[in-house]
Amino acid sequence: KPHAVCVPYPVQGHINPMLKLAKLLHSKGFHITFVNTEFVHQRLLKSRGPDSLNSLSSFRFEVIPDGIPPSDSDNDALPDGLTICDSTSKHCLAPFRDLLFKLNNSSNMLPLTCIVSDSVVDFTRTAAEEFGLPDVVFWTASACSLLASAQYPSLVQRGLIPLRETQFHDSRINPSFPNSQSQQRNPSSLNPDPVPCSGRRRPLQSSVDSAAAPVVAAAAVVAAPGQLKKK
């Protein structure tokens, strides 16, 4: 049996598609290790109950620390995307490396075959290289949005994005929306603040450039599960 380690970006809109992909792979004969961060793991247990993540022998959940402090209140909403991106980049590599070592050296575990990682998770690539494992990149949105995102470096190089302050606030970026909604409906890459642009795009560009296998788009996988072949 092939053994895939699935690592989603730790927000709900990325976890759900990765979980669907993991279930599809499992149905085709894969052994699955699904890796959540501590913050997400605790939120899932709180919302779904203490037994919700009990593992099967061939579909296991593992947890790694993410550096995000536990919430002091009942409001366990996830931090903003930049905080998550920064925290996972700084804190997840070492524990993920330890997890791979544990899985690879466990007598009751199948040898690792590959890592399937979200396109905006960057620490998995480093670990995959160290362990000699292929890293398959999973794009959780549509294939159309992947094509658009792949043009980001070219648009930056040509000076088209990020938008200048005057462009962003004083003009209607999308004519079909009222002016008050135009800014809200456009992706963060158009924001004049360069930090979110660079912070979120570097992992994506790194994943596309170094992927050991073609990027898998979520829409294609969910729409055509019969295309997944058992090896």
Measured distance CA(89)–CA(91) in Å, rounded:
6
pLDDT digits 0-9 by tens, 164-217:
655 555 555 556 655 544 444 455 555 544 444 344 455 555 555 555 555 565
* Contact (Cβ atoms closer than 8 angstroms) between residue 10 and residue 36: yes
Question: What are the backbone angles phi and psi of residue 211, rounded to the nearest 5°?
Answer: -60, 135
User: Which pairing describes strands 213-217 and 114-118: parallel, antiparallel, or unpaired?
Assistant: unpaired
Task: For residue 130, give the nearest of 109, 104, 108 by alpha carbon.
Answer: 104
Please enumerate in sequence order all residues whose Cβ is within 8 A of that of 157, keeping only pairs 6 or more positions apart, or say none.
none
Which of the following is catalytic: 14, 31, 41, 91? Answer: 14
Percentage of the chain surpassing pLDDT 90?
Answer: 29
Return the residue matching tokens 């996988």.
221
Mean of the per-residue pLDDT values for the chain?
Answer: 74
Rounded to the nearest 10°, the torsion over CA 156, 159, 161, 162 is 100
14 is catalytic: yes
Render pLDDT for 146-161 as a digit per residue (tens, 0 to 9): 777 778 778 878 887 7
Helix (H, G, I), strand (E, B) or coil at 178: coil
pLDDT for residue 172: 52
For position 47, what pLDDT does the model report? 65
Active-site residue identified among 66, 118, 122, 135: 118
Look up residue 55 and give its two tokens. 């593992």
